[in-house]
Structure 1
Amino acid sequence: SDGRFYGRDPTFPGIRAYAHYYVSNKLSFLDSPGEYWFDETSNLLYVWKSDDAEWSDIEISTDATDQEIGLDMVGKSYIEWEGLTFSFFYQIVREPFTIANPSEHNTFNNCRFHSSAFGIKLQRKLDSSQPWKKTRHWSFTKNEWSSIDEEAVWIKAPDGRDPDNGESSIRNLYFFNNSFHHIGFAYECPYAVAKHAPAAVHICYATNVTFIYNTIEIV
């Protein structure tokens, strides 16, 4: 933070002769094809793709030691994902039961989700004292889910509706012109033995859900 390098000993600034080091986590270091940088403040992912690659050919993947979750969306809002492929995770997109910050206005357009146990898995506990903390205004348009072992879309508000105002902790979801196929075709997941109760779409207690012009086949 003070513009100097420090080793393990914080009292000694500097780098010894012939030492190996690297610096990272700055947008200004993004200077070559194949590199990326995520801005946690603005929730923007910067990618420098190869000149001969198309955006539709880019896949987001990890090694086998970090295969459980593709995108952890806890408290993430106003993010748009477009033209990307996500594959070989246990859960591709996840928001767990935790009552955290709102997760709102997230959009997935023309993306492909395949070869996983769960595609989209959204859950949120109800907190009547903090009614603004909701999962809401998520939009899915022209995406494809395929070779999903359990459920392509799994959405559950576990506490049902708020008894005071009737609202659910998950609401205002929009699905338009998406394709779901080959759901329930297992792949070898290192994290769990498949329950094998496949469903293309499973929505429980969420409200204000729009689901139009979607295709579901081979489940």
Structure 2
Amino acid sequence: MIEISHLYKGYKSGDNNTLVLNDVKFSLPAGSMAVIRGMSGSGKTTLLNVLGGLDRADSGQIRVGEWYLEQMDNAALGHYRARDVGFIFQFHNLIPTLTVLENLLTSIEPVRHPNAEDKELAMDYLEKVGLAAFAMRFPARLSGGQQQRVAIARALLKEPKLILADEPTGSLDEDTGLQVIALLQQMQRQKNVTLVIVTHNPDLSQYADSNYEMRAGRLQASHA
């Protein structure tokens, strides 16, 4: 499903170039879960952004299923993101002027106009994250943890092939976090979804098929 080789990414600031991804190699079979841990600034989120087509690497090869990301133009990357990738962002990225239900349906809109079945499925996912009663509320009336659960339901709604999650349980209490991980695992098994999770939380490692640690832009296999 995912094959990355010799991936480099740097950011320039004046005359300085900071290397954020340094010869990253990564392989993950379809339908499996990888957890990547590391300190803030180690390159974890940058790797997710490159995998999701939100950012481009400076060099290297990235294959995700049938897609070869380094060869694609912006339009093709947009199609890849819309069709195959579900994002769970650390800071939720909910649209404040839309209701909870409408926020979920934004994940469908790049592909097609949401229909009645999409709305029914959206309500089903809101039920699974315990927020069906909040469907008509606006994000400002939700707690941080509730907003995170909305973001998770939004990523799951289009039932993507790949889910990229940045601290998916960071705003959640322990019990709710476990429920979310169970839901992600259910998607993994039933829909053959591939999951890449970056986190500071060592407890998530026990649920992964493979574990990695990012240090100064280098990715290394680690034990749970």
Q: Give the shorter-chain TM-score range.
A: under 0.3
Q: Which has the higher contact order (CA 8 A, sep 6+)?
A: 2
Name the TM-score, length of structure 1 as normaliser.
Answer: 0.25
| More helix, by proportion | 2
Name the TM-score, length of structure 2 as normaliser.
Answer: 0.24
| More strand, by proportion | 1
Larger radius of gyration: 1
